[in-house]
Chain A
């Protein structure tokens, strides 16, 4: 159909470039662990408050340095509002909603999930830097949306006391040896 030679080359370059991009994101996603969330679990949003573990959201230590965090999003708060973990912790984060859609994006990390009632969003992340990382609701959920957030506190490995934890704070205080662990809610 008479394609101009310059245009033919342009088409080749375009296809090559797109193919290269696709290979890169594929390697990043499936070999290097920069992965999006997938299918995890389903839960009935109407009975969430009676369903474990959602009836008791917060942190659980499942192995030394490994945690599970259960977070419930509802208009217009996260429960819990603080997740405190020692630096280096590998945390599997589970989030669901009891009412509307919400978002869960932890600033300065690769944690970003759409939160949908009926579905459990799940992502694994290792917190390697000490600091505070706010998690913001990134999906419109009504009047209070702009004030809906919580904070991941990544603390130095030893010497955390749970003393300043408020009622909705989930704190893991591990001794330097990591042998004793208490979960306060």
Chain B
């Protein structure tokens, strides 16, 4: 049974695709996108260096006393690791990438480039503002800053500015899409552009929770204007943003898997309609699932937790769609390249292309991450794994691999594209992807097992006084995985730096943006899969039903009575 046994796609009775050469990004546009990537990659390299230190600590190799003048503790390092990797690397990469997919997808410049410029610089100012207390050990509150841990006000203000900047850039994308639609009435918006902009819209809805938490409680409290906060309400606000955050990370990887990777592999997108459908479903159900991070919280009724468990299962569905469509697209490509057999075709994919290999390996790790995620979503199973090492084990397969390794793969064509260079050391880049893959399998497997044994997360287990001997083998495997990952991080830094400082090459040697055509003409995609209104409306209604009552209840019963610790706890 293969997808190629299917009858040929019907010939479309629709306008033929424009034969005109693609409008690539101008030099100016490339530079603007490039700025996003510089910040993103720098954050990833610095943030990731903390990871192995944590992993070494698990087996008792404590390097923190040695780096004391720079990083004061495991926890400060962990805060930097979480903020730089999960918030800065992702957000800057995604916003930069969405600039690219919007401009290249719509084949037109941004309608108001100054809006996007303003947005970017607001993000940078925010980052710098937050960096001061972070590096000064004034905000060692981890990247979730659970109240009433009280960071310096500059930390909250900085994060707010990063989010506001991303909103402003989002506005620039909407206006551009709007302008394009006026120029192209009746034409389906190109998938890579539409996908990025759906993600931006989802992000704007999602971050309302974070904004509410910081602006109504954390910022005034850290400035001394109010004496205490309501920690449970701040958790509900946080996870309103926190779960859709993971889809904000994931969707750009999906854009690449659906809309670019098939082309890189020599094939086409299997189903344009289903690609769009899955993105709209993410817009619809990404947000009203946040209570699955609060399954074991006090102050949230079991019924709401259970409803969100059900909704979380439903947001799993578009990911199963993605699995099918992406694998089918890849199979199509591999068979065109002469691949045969039920799974033997996999070997015919262009595994020697580092960009392709990195993304394929990322997708393989994501299958395991997805299965673990289903476990996390399963209501009472959360009793077993909540706040254990299982959870970081899980999200190093998702955000730190499916997302990060895919983004790394994307940078293998995107950085050369933006800088008019050739990728330095494609073989090194290929090795880098495999080293990451192997290191992550060892690391995350050991973390999952530790979690099942009961090891808590966010804990320097080398120092913890209750660790039974039975955990030692797995603690060691965490450290070994961390060491292998350290090699992968260094190789990635090497490839990026050598590429960036390499010589400029002739235009024909610069890679183009890979864009996969779909097997069926996009004009055959029904119009309801190209309209924001019904989906935004649906998302709003679902939010009101699934979050409204409990959120209103918590707000009406708010007690700002938690002042936090009487001393600085770190």
**Chain A residues within 8 Å of B, Cβ to Cβ:** 1-7, 10-11, 14-15, 18-19, 21-22, 25-26, 28-30, 34-40, 42, 44-46, 75, 99-101, 103, 105, 107-108, 110-122, 134, 136-143, 145-147, 149
With most chain A CB atoms within 10 A of its CB, the pick from B9, B230, B387 is B387
In the complex, which of the residues A10, A21, A28, A112 contacts B296, with contact meaning CB atoms closer than 8 Å? A112
> Which B372-412 residues have C-beta < 8 A from chain A?
374, 378-384, 386-388
Q: Note all chain B residues with C-beta closer than 8 A to A38.
A: 298, 300-302, 305
Q: Which residue of A lies closest to B294 (CB)?
A: A114
* Bound CA span A35–B460, Å: 30
* Bound CA span A75–B520, Å: 61
Whether the pair A137, B559 counts as a contact (CB closer than 8 A) is no
| A20 CB → nearest B CB, Å | 10
* Bound CA span A32–B324, Å: 35
B290-332, CB under 8 A of A: which get 1 and which 0?
Answer: 0000111111111001100110011011001100110010000
Whether the pair A35, B273 counts as a contact (CB closer than 8 A) is no
B464 at the interface (CB under 8 A from A): yes
Q: Note all chain B residues with C-beta closer than 8 A to A112.
A: 296, 382-384, 386-387
Q: Note all chain B residues with C-beta closer than 8 A to A11.
A: 317, 320-321, 324
Q: Note all chain B residues with C-beta closer than 8 A to A146.
A: 459-461, 463-465
* Bound CA span A18–B383, Å: 20
Q: Which residue of B lies closest to A104 (CB)?
A: B296
- Cβ contacts A to B, 11 pairs, < 8 Å: A2-B520, A4-B3, A4-B6, A5-B6, A7-B271, A36-B383, A38-B302, A105-B386, A112-B386, A117-B562, A138-B457
In the complex, which of the residues A39, A75, A140 contacts B142, with contact meaning CB atoms closer than 8 Å? A140
Q: Which residue of A lies closest to B525 (CB)?
A: A1
Q: Which residue of B lies closest to A38 (CB)?
A: B302
Known: A21-B378, A101-B146, A114-B298. A108 touches B454 (CB 8 A): yes
Q: Note all chain A residues with C-beta closer than 8 A to B562.
A: 45, 117-118
Whether the pair B1, A6 counts as a contact (CB closer than 8 A) is yes
B466 at the interface (CB under 8 A from A): yes
Q: Which residue of B lies closest to A111 (CB)?
A: B383
Whether the pair B298, A100 counts as a contact (CB closer than 8 A) is no
* Bound CA span A117–B297, Å: 11
* Bound CA span A137–B466, Å: 11
Q: Which residue of B lies closest to A143 (CB)?
A: B570
With most chain A CB atoms within 10 A of its CB, the pick from B3, B297, B301, B463 is B297
* Bound CA span A144–B232, Å: 23
Main SS at interface, chain B: loop
> Which B71-120 residues have C-beta < 8 A from chain A?
73, 75
Whether the pair A40, B298 counts as a contact (CB closer than 8 A) is yes
- Chain B, interface size category, equals 35 or more
Whether the pair B6, A34 counts as a contact (CB closer than 8 A) is no
Q: Which residue of B lies closest to A2 (CB)?
A: B520
Known: A75-B569, A142-B569. A103 touches B301 (CB 8 A): no
Whether the pair A145, B458 counts as a contact (CB closer than 8 A) is yes
Known: A38-B301, A145-B459, A149-B466. A25 touches B328 (CB 8 A): no
With most chain A CB atoms within 10 A of its CB, the pick from B3, B306, B383 is B383
B565 at the interface (CB under 8 A from A): yes
* Bound CA span A3–B275, Å: 11
Known: A1-B526, A75-B569, A116-B299. A18 touches B386 (CB 8 A): no
* Bound CA span A14–B319, Å: 10
Whether the pair A110, B384 counts as a contact (CB closer than 8 A) is yes
* Bound CA span A163–B228, Å: 42
Whether the pair A36, B302 counts as a contact (CB closer than 8 A) is yes
* Bound CA span A134–B456, Å: 12
* In the A-B complex, the 6 residue pairs with the closest CB atoms: A142-B569, A119-B298, A138-B387, A138-B456, A14-B320, A146-B464
* Bound CA span A140–B384, Å: 18
* Bound CA span A173–B18, Å: 85
B564 at the interface (CB under 8 A from A): yes
Whether the pair B231, A116 counts as a contact (CB closer than 8 A) is yes
* Bound CA span A30–B543, Å: 25
B148 at the interface (CB under 8 A from A): yes
Q: Which residue of A lies closest to B374 (CB)?
A: A21
* Bound CA span A121–B457, Å: 20
* Bound CA span A139–B388, Å: 9
* Bound CA span A7–B381, Å: 30
| B420 CB → nearest A CB, Å | 40
> Which B1-33 residues have C-beta < 8 A from chain A?
1, 3, 6, 9-10
| A139 CB → nearest B CB, Å | 6
Whether the pair A116, B235 counts as a contact (CB closer than 8 A) is yes
| B364 CB → nearest A CB, Å | 18
Q: Note all chain B residues with C-beta closer than 8 A to A36.
A: 295-296, 302, 305, 379-380, 382-383
| A43 CB → nearest B CB, Å | 9
B168 at the interface (CB under 8 A from A): no
Q: Note all chain B residues with C-beta closer than 8 A to A7.
A: 271, 274, 321, 324-325, 328
Q: Which residue of A lies closest to B270 (CB)?
A: A4
B266 at the interface (CB under 8 A from A): no
In the complex, which of the residues A14, A75, A110, A114 contacts B387, with contact meaning CB atoms closer than 8 Å? A114
In the complex, which of the residues B73, B380, B458, B460 contacts A28, with contact meaning CB atoms closer than 8 Å? B380
Whether the pair B298, A39 counts as a contact (CB closer than 8 A) is yes
Q: Note all chain A residues with C-beta closer than 8 A to B526.
A: 1
Q: Note all chain A residues with C-beta closer than 8 A to B270.
A: 4
In the complex, which of the residues A5, A37, A118 contacts B559, with contact meaning CB atoms closer than 8 Å? A118
Q: Note all chain B residues with C-beta closer than 8 A to A107.
A: 454
Q: Which residue of A lies closest to B310 (CB)?
A: A22
B403-442, CB under 8 A of A: which get 1 and which 0?
Answer: 0000000000000000000000000000000000000000
* Bound CA span A142–B142, Å: 10
B215 at the interface (CB under 8 A from A): no
Q: Note all chain B residues with C-beta closer than 8 A to A15.
A: 317
Q: Which residue of B lies closest to A142 (CB)?
A: B569
B41-66, CB under 8 A of A: which get 1 and which 0?
Answer: 00000000000000000000000000
Whether the pair B384, A3 counts as a contact (CB closer than 8 A) is no
* Bound CA span A116–B543, Å: 25
| B294 CB → nearest A CB, Å | 7
Whether the pair B384, A37 counts as a contact (CB closer than 8 A) is no
Whether the pair B148, A140 counts as a contact (CB closer than 8 A) is no
Q: Note all chain A residues with C-beta closer than 8 A to B228.
A: 46
With most chain A CB atoms within 10 A of its CB, the pick from B235, B317, B380, B529 is B380
Whether the pair A105, B456 counts as a contact (CB closer than 8 A) is yes
B216 at the interface (CB under 8 A from A): no
With most chain B CB atoms within 10 A of its CB, the pick from A29, A100, A140 is A140
B561 at the interface (CB under 8 A from A): yes
Q: Note all chain A residues with C-beta closer than 8 A to B314.
A: 18
Q: Note all chain B residues with C-beta closer than 8 A to A21.
A: 313, 374, 378
Whether the pair B298, A120 counts as a contact (CB closer than 8 A) is yes
* Bound CA span A139–B391, Å: 12
